[in-house]
Chain A
Amino acid sequence: MKEELFISGRDIPFIDPVLNVWHWQIPLYLFVGGLAAGLIFFASYFYLKGKEKEYPMAIKIAPLLAPIVIVLGLIALILDLRHPAYFWQLYTTIRLDSPMSWGAWTLGAIMPLSILWPLSYIQDIKNYFGDWTFKMPYKLLVWFIKMIDRYWIIKWVYELSIKFRKPIAITNLILAIILGVYTGILLSAFNARPLWNTSILGPLFLVSGLSTGAATIMWMAKDHHEKIAFSKIDLLLIAVEIFFIVHMFMGFLASSEVQQEAAALFLGGEFTAVFWGFFVTIGLVFPAILEIMELNGFKIPISIPAFFILFGGALFRFIMVDAGQITRFLY
C-alpha cells in the first residue's frame, strides 16, 4: 500500500488538494460547441440531401441559434482565461499539437459561416418570427432586411450567401464534425488526467452534441413530420451514446490502475449518483422512453424529452470536466 501522508509547503489555489483549474466555463463552452455542431451539421446535411421542403425548421430557422450559442461559448472561453486581454494571441499562431489552438481556429472559421447560413434564409426567418406574439425579433428582422437593401455591402454579402449556399453547406458539414469531435479531444488529449485520456471521448462528445442539436430542432419544429423525423434521429443517437459510454467504462476497467481508479469514481465513487442517476437515467433513458412512447402514438409534449436531453448533455460535460480534474497519476 502506498499513501501520501502529507504534503508540506504546498497549498496552491485551484491546484491543491485537488486540481480545479477549469470551472463552469469550459464545460459550458464544450456544451454549446456540441450544440452548435449539431445544429449546423443537420442543416448542412439535410440541405445537401435536398430536404429543404421536408425539414424547414432544421435547415432554415434552427441554424440561427448556432452563431448565438457560439458567441456564448466564446464568452465563456474568454471568461475562463486568466489573461483575457491577451485573448487575441490565440490567433497569432497555429499549433497543430494543441487542441486548444485547433478549437480556437475551428470556431474562428465556423463563426462567420454560421452567420452567412441564416443570413441567406433571412426572409424565412422573418416569416417565422411573424407568428410570435412577442414582436421584438420580428421588428428587428424587418429593420435588418431594410438595411440589406440600403447598403450595397450587406446586399452583396447577402447575395453571395444565397449564391454559394452549396459550398457553404459542404464546408459547414466538415467544420461541424471537426467542432463536435474537438469538444471531446480537448479533454482526451490530456494524458495526465486518466479519466479524459480515452480516444472514445471524441466520438462520444460528437454524438452527444448531435443529439442535443437534434433535440433542439425537434423542440422547435412545427410540422409533425419533422418532429417525428428528428425524434427518431435523436433516439438513434442516444442509443449510440449509451453504447459508447459502456465501452468507455469497459476500456477503463481493462486499463492501468490510474484509469481503473478514474472509473471507480463513477462505479461507487462520488460521481456515481449524479452520473447514472441524473445524466444516464434522466438525461438519456427517460427522454428516450418518452420519445418511444411518442412514436407509438402517445401524446407527449415534445418539449419534455427535448429539455431533458439538453439538460443531460450539459450535465455530462460538467461531470466529465469536474471528475477528470480529480483523477491523476500516483507516484
Chain B
Amino acid sequence: MRYAMTMDIKKCVGCSDCVVACQTENNVPIGFCRDWIVENVDGTYPNLELEIRSERCNHCDDTPCVRTCPTGASHVIEGGIVKVTPIECIGCGACIQACPYDARYFHPDGYVDKCTFCDHRVTKGQDTACVSVCPTKSLAFGDLDDPNSPVSILLRERKWKVNAPEAGTKPQVYFLT
C-alpha cells in the first residue's frame, strides 16, 4: 500500500477550504496550518502564467525528516504516511531543517506537528479532510498500488509534476498540470 495525493492545478481556485477543513478536523492550533495555498507567477509581462497550488507534507518515499530525527519520534507508518509521536519528540527542530518543503512546524505544546494524511480517516476508508471538502474536486487521494484508485487513474491519464524533485525526496503529492 502506498498512499498518495493528487492536486489538479487546472481546477484549484485558491479558496483555502482545504486549509480550514484540516485545521478543524485536526485541532490545529490557531495561527498554524498543516496545508496551505501558494500562488506562483511564471514568465514576464505580458506572457504571465498563474499557478495556484494547495500544498502539504509530501509524505516522501525518501524521508530526510525521519532520517535526521535523533529519537525516532518521526517515523513512517503503513502506507508511507510520515508521522510524529509527540511524546517521543524532544523538539530539536532537526526535522524542520531537513524538510525541503517547510512542511513541519513547532506545535505550541513543544513537539513537531505536520500533515498526517488524516491517517485516522483514511485507514477507515474515508478521504482526508481536505479532499472531502474541496469544492472544485481538485484534490484526490488513494492507494498507488491499487490501479483503480482515483490517484492511479489520474496519474495515468494526466500529465503531472512534483515539487522540487531535485531535492531527492521522492514526494508523493502529485500536481496535475
Q: Which residues of A pack against B, CB within 8 Å?
A: 1-16, 19, 21-22, 80-84, 86-87, 89-90, 92-93, 95, 97-101, 104, 189-193, 256, 325, 328-331
Contacts and interface: CB of A to CB of B under 8 A. Distances in A.
5 contacts: A93-B70, A93-B71, A192-B64, A192-B98, A192-B100
A82 B44 CA distance: 43
B70 A7 contact: no
Contacts of B101: 329
A97 B75 CA distance: 13
A95 B69 contact: yes
A9 B97 contact: no
Contact of A15 (B14, B73, B96): B96
Given A191-B100, A328-B102, A331-B163, A99 B39 contact: no
Contact of A9 (B19, B40, B70, B166): B19
A97 B71 CA distance: 11
B160 interface: no
A8 B96 contact: no
| 9 closest A-B pairs by CB | A82-B91, A100-B70, A101-B70, A192-B100, A83-B91, A10-B36, A83-B110, A97-B67, A82-B110
B37 A192 contact: no
B38 A95 contact: no
Contacts of B87: 86
Q: How many B residues are at the interface, by size bracket?
A: 35 or more
Contacts of A80: 92-93
Given A1-B42, A81-B91, A328-B100, A8 B68 contact: no
A133 B40 CA distance: 67
A87 B68 contact: no
B31 interface: yes
B68 A189 contact: yes
A14 B163 contact: no
Looking at chain B's contact residues, the main secondary structure is loop
A97 B66 CA distance: 9
Contact of B68 (A2, A4, A100): A100
A10 to B, nearest CB: 4
Nearest to A97: B67
A1 B164 CA distance: 16
B33 A98 contact: no
Contacts of B64: 190-192
A110 B13 CA distance: 56
B96 to A, nearest CB: 5
Nearest to B52: A8
B71 A329 contact: no
B42 A190 contact: no
Nearest to A196: B97
A33 to B, nearest CB: 15
A104 B70 contact: yes
A83 B167 contact: no
A87 B38 contact: no
Given A6-B39, A9-B36, A189-B68, A89 B163 contact: no
Given A89-B73, A93-B72, A99-B94, 14 more contacts: A1-B42, A1-B44, A2-B42, A6-B39, A7-B38, A8-B14, A15-B105, A80-B92, A86-B91, A97-B68, A189-B98, A328-B102, A329-B101, A329-B167
A191 B67 CA distance: 12
B43 A19 contact: no
B41 interface: yes
B164 A329 contact: yes
B100 A21 contact: no
Nearest to B35: A9
A201 to B, nearest CB: 14
Contacts of B72: 93, 95
B94 to A, nearest CB: 5
Given A98-B68, A190-B97, A4 B40 contact: yes
B145 interface: no
A12 B105 contact: yes
Contact of B90 (A14, A83, A256): A83
B16 interface: yes
Contact of A3 (B41, B92, B93, B111): B41
A83 B16 contact: no
